[in-house]
Structure 1
């Protein structure tokens, strides 16, 4: 089985091959970048294995450097190795959850003969779904009542509230990670009802538990509440998003979870950027910094919010300095880093830099940043790709480039419909209004017709 070090070495070796081909062709990083539709920092980070652009990047490099497809083929091999490692890791995690059985005889007696039936469980690990047939007995042994209800239906048994197994904290963490993965594939509308249901179960266990277990469940509840807020925002229900995020902050502070407190303050700053109270962005970002996170990715996320706060003030120098801090922190994490703030990669920071330059009135610089981000964005995160395609479209429109704006907006609209994201739909509709000044452009006409026909259009 591949290990994380082997995967990292494979990315570095691929980057070195790019550097060798580039030098042999007489290119510098600066001269190669525009010919493959990216920025110099992308070339630099890729050559040392820090950044992993998608296959399109490597195909363009093959074409420009005349390598007869060698780089794209090598990329496919590295991706296959990485997927092998992730599949093995996901399978191990899933197997562990199914074999963490306790009290088999008690559960069998409580559920009678039904425990001998088999059920099909769909497990999601590293973005890959697999269906596993297991006996109901084994599933009942491995999964406590609250999680069981979400998998095969029904309410948790009343007896579960009397004695709380500490293992349930880990089970709720696993279930949340599954739903986060699924959210990027099927959209918030399919996930939010389950999230709300599980929040009710967690609260029930938390009310019964005492001491450290109660605090652990409160921290778990805070994470689920923040997740429910994110889902609500994506569905366009900002009031619900406000409420859930406030709940998350209160519970994180009550449980003494400084890492999550910092993260929630940063999320509040992120939301304030697009709200009426933009003047609070910088203050909320500073509150996140005072919370004292030691996690590099959370600190990178906080630095991004500090940068956006400077755009509200119109301070481009302070914005660039904060973005540089965020990029440095994001680059200081390995390809296998997971957990809180793991989404805050260099690709994410580039997208946020694009947002900032667009807000500061530099749309062409914003387009370059969004292009760098999308080059490196994982294909499996379709909704986020849709969001940044919509922002790319807005930047093109602001730069007076209607054809490019309409093309990016159409791609974003397709992803909005696939993931049922009201947020992307709203952003694309705003681009459509921006492009109303170009009614004779065929691409703009196509976008307007698609918006009119969209089932998500109110």
Structure 2
């Protein structure tokens, strides 16, 4: 039976499941699982919210955390925990610096503590969580730096630790690819994914390999390389039986649905998306330590169904799917809501509904500006091209001018 820490006991006494606490604090379930097992402590910026959730004082929380890890809290954590009004970006930067110091040491050549790998995992969790709220431009330098830091450790690790390092390196490289895509640097994104694929092969993880093949299919689709998008999607599904995480399997299936839609195979596309939805409703697998596709929830699969229907030319059905899910979209995926609203805008255009297009287009543009998502702006530019005929409709001309202005800023950027 797994060891339960003092913090884990306190969370259970307070009535929290791992899933419930993760949702409340805005972190991955795998992160909470590591707190329960004592592998890691919560990062200092979460302490005020955690103390409030447990109904304890800051001092009582510090005692729980010290008991959980079996050692006193480092002074750096005490200082961070006692700082009022701490800025999330500052904490992330501090965490990155601590990770570098812990992992590389003074000489850069000596062996390192394998527990440092968990430090990198926590750093990635924090960056991924912050990404949708802060925007890619705020985080890309930190993510790229961590790829280099992990790579420098490959030659200093024992065999078992090296396998985990390859996994973490692949995760950071894939994340860099995601950030590059959102910044409109598509070739950079594909280059990062190729690096991630190499390290995923080296790690021996079928889950990672499948996930990154799925992501490479998404990237190929993003730049209009439909043949590569289909081939990569079908390749990811071929690993299905060896994949442990139900969410990774769901992500692979939804991308296979896109591939089938690109091939014009409606029956196969809808079958794949139905399979993805069923898998997305299942609990996260305990054997998925990185929550690779934790975002692949029923809501996510529903917006992907809408996109698949759009590819198949079923625009009114796609519009219904978007409307069914976007009003209740999870707040932590704010940037993604903008992207899907931009795609809804294009569906509204193709359905001949200028009012609906302007409504979602304006909201999507506001979110794109807020999160600096160049990808969302490009999606909106596709809609604008089809709305020129409606300039006399209320709001259309203003929307087209706003998209054009933002597009000019994008190219200048």
> Where on the TM-score scale, by shorter chain, does this alignment land: which range?
0.7 to 0.9
**8 Å contact from structure 2 (residues 230, 259) kept in 1:** yes
Partner of 1:41: none
Distance in 2 of aligned mates of 1:324 and 1:117: 46
* 1:29-56 deviation digits (Å, cap 9, x = unpaired): xxxxxxxxxxxxxxxxxxxxxxxxxxxx
* SS class of match (2:331): coil
Match of 1:407 among 335, 341, 359: 359
Unaligned runs of 5+ in 2: 1-13, 22-48, 88-93
Q: Which residue of 1 aligns with 2:257?
A: 307
Match for residue 212 of structure 1?
160
Distance 1:377 1:213, change over 3 A: same
**Counterpart for residue 297 of structure 1:** 247
**Separation of aligned partners in 1, 2:96 and 2:137:** 26
The 5 A counterparts of 1:14-413 are 96=65, 119-120=79-80, 131=86, 147=99, 157-291=105-239, 292-333=242-283, 339-413=291-365
Alpha-carbon shift at residue 320 of structure 1 (Å)? 1.0
1:291-334 per-position Cα deviation (integer Å, ceiling 9, x unaligned)? 22121111111110111111111111111111111111111236
Q: Which runs of 5+ in 1 are unaligned?
A: 9-82, 108-114, 124-128, 133-139
Q: Give TM-score scaled by structure 1 length.
A: 0.69
**Alpha carbons of 1:400 and 1:149: their partners in 2 closer, same or farther (altered >3 Å)?**
farther
Whole-angstrom CA distance in 1 between matches of 2:185 and 2:67? 36
Determine the C-alpha separation between the residues in 2 that align with 1:428 and 1:102.
53
Whether contact under 8 Å (1:347, 1:372) holds in the other structure is no
Report what 2:378 is aligned to: 426
Whole-angstrom distance in 1 between the partners of 2:77 and 2:200: 41
Cross-structure match for 2:403: 451
- Per the TM alignment, residue 335 of structure 1 is displaced from its structure 2 partner at its CA by 12
**Cα deviation, residue 451, structure 1:** 2.1
For 1:191 and 1:97, locate their aligned partners in 2 and report how far apart those are by CA, in whole Å: 30
Query: Is the 2:341–2:361 contact (alpha carbons within 8 Å) kept by the matching residues of 1?
Result: yes
Q: Are the counterparts in 2 of residues 179 and 191 from structure 1 also a CA contact under 8 Å? A: yes
CA distance in 2, matches of 1:340, 1:427: 26
Q: Find the residue that maps to 2:327 and give its secondary structure.
A: helix
Deviations along 1:348-404, one digit per CA (max 9) or x if unpaired, are: 111111111111111111111111221331022110000010011111000000111
In 2, the alpha carbon distance for the partners of 1:85 and 1:390 equals 39
Contact 1:311/1:319, CA 8 A, preserved across alignment: yes
1:175 to partner: Cα distance: 0.6
1:163/1:318 Cα in 2 relative to 1: closer, same or farther (>3 Å)?
same
- TM-score, structure 2 as length reference: 0.77
3-state DSSP of counterpart to 1:332: coil
Quote how far apart the aligned CAs of 1:273 are. Answer: 2.2
Offset at 1:101?
8.5
More off after superposition, 426-435 vs 244-253: 426-435
Q: 1:417 aligns with which of 345, 357, 369?
A: 369
- Residues 246 and 282 of structure 2 are in contact (CA less than 8 Å); yes or no, is this contact kept in structure 1? yes
C-alpha distance in 2 between matches for 1:269 and 1:250? 16
What is the Cα-based RMSD across aligned positions, in Å? Answer: 3.7
CA apart distance, 1:210: 2.5
Alpha-carbon contact 2:213-2:232 (below 8 Å) kept: yes
Change (3 A) 1:411 1:98: farther
- Whole-Å Cα distance in 2 between the matches of residues 404 and 365 of structure 1? 14
Counterpart in the other structure of 1:44: none
How many Å apart are 1:2 and its aligned residue? Answer: 2.7
* Residue of structure 2 equivalent to 1:4: 17
> Alpha-carbon deviation of 1:163?
2.2
Change (3 A) 1:384 1:122: farther
> In 2, distance between residues paired with 1:344 and 1:178?
18
- Shift in Å, 1:84: 7.9
Distance in 2 (CA, whole Å) between partners of 1:389 and 1:322 is 23
SS class of match (2:223): coil
